[in-house]
Amino acid sequence: MDAIHELVANDRIVGGIDETSTATAAFYRQFVTGKFLITDSRTAELAKLTENSFRDVNIALANELSRICDHLGVDIRELIRLANHHPRVEILSPGPGVGGHCIAVDPWFIIHSAPEQSRLIHVAREVNTAQPEFVVAEVGVEAARLRHPTIACFGLAYKADIDDLRESPSVEIALRLAREGGGRILAIEPHIETLPTPLAVADVRLCGVDEALAEADIVLGLVPHRAFQKMSRQALREKIVIDTCGLWQ
């Protein structure tokens, strides 16, 4: 697993309030093979927040570019592929938003601590927070063309191949679609057995891939789980496909 590998191999920033507390790095040296970078506690904490804020800002750029491409009729995946050929450019992939307990949360600590000095970080948070609304609007345009559409939301986790739904934009999207009453909502999430209460109360139905493909008019790709990548493209040919994460590109 990536988490186990990173626990051992990643470099560690260690910052204490004094020499004694910083010496706790000795505990990590028992199993960590990466470098140890010693600093003070304030810098160490800000470094951790900065790592996740960097990713949030980069994702915000990708998400904003996706909206620009939608407006201009340009393929966002092709645009990013070409731009990333530059040796000093590495744009991340756009998606339905940002979730989880780190990237969607950590930038707010910086914003709260230095609001006047963190305008870019704040705007990036606003862009990513608004991304689910952009996706829901896009689905709404297609759903309005159908009398009683069935919308299949492929993925609820906040990232691929995990069962963690914390702060997941995919959950928010499925919930908004259900509450707006634009159609019947199916959720396909192979890593969970029951839906979170808000989705269950909103009459979202958890089902498998085959059942969803048989019933759906609109197929909404939200999380690039490996299980979804193996799906037959033939099964999607007669569906309205909205792929927010490059799942079936």
Residue range 199-247, pLDDT digits in tens: 999 999 999 999 999 999 999 999 999 999 988 888 899 999 999 999 9
pLDDT value, residue 232: 86
More confidently predicted of 98 and 249: 98
Distance CA 223, CA 208 (A): 15
Mean pLDDT of 155-176: 97
Q: Is the pLDDT of residue 88 over 70?
A: yes
Cα dihedral 11, 84, 72, 228, rounded to 10, equals -60
Q: What is the residue extent of each domain of the chain? A: 1-34, 132-243
Q: Which class is domain 132-243?
A: alpha beta
Q: What are the φ and ψ backbone dihedral angles of 220, each rounded to 5 degrees?
A: -110, 110
Please give the positions annotated as active site. Answer: 48, 102
Share above pLDDT 90 across residues of the chain, in percent, rounded to a whole number: 83
Q: What is the pTM of this model?
A: 0.90
- 49-60 burial, b at 16+ Cβ within 10 Å, e below that, comes to beebbebbbebb
Distance CA 14, CA 51 (A): 15
pLDDT value, residue 1: 54
Q: How far is CA 54 from CA 21, 57, 69, 106, 205, in A?
A: 28, 5, 23, 10, 36
Are 235 and 167 in contact by the 8 Å Cβ rule? The answer is: no
Q: CB within 8 A of 248, min separation 6: which ones?
A: 221, 229, 231, 233, 236, 241
pLDDT value, residue 218: 98
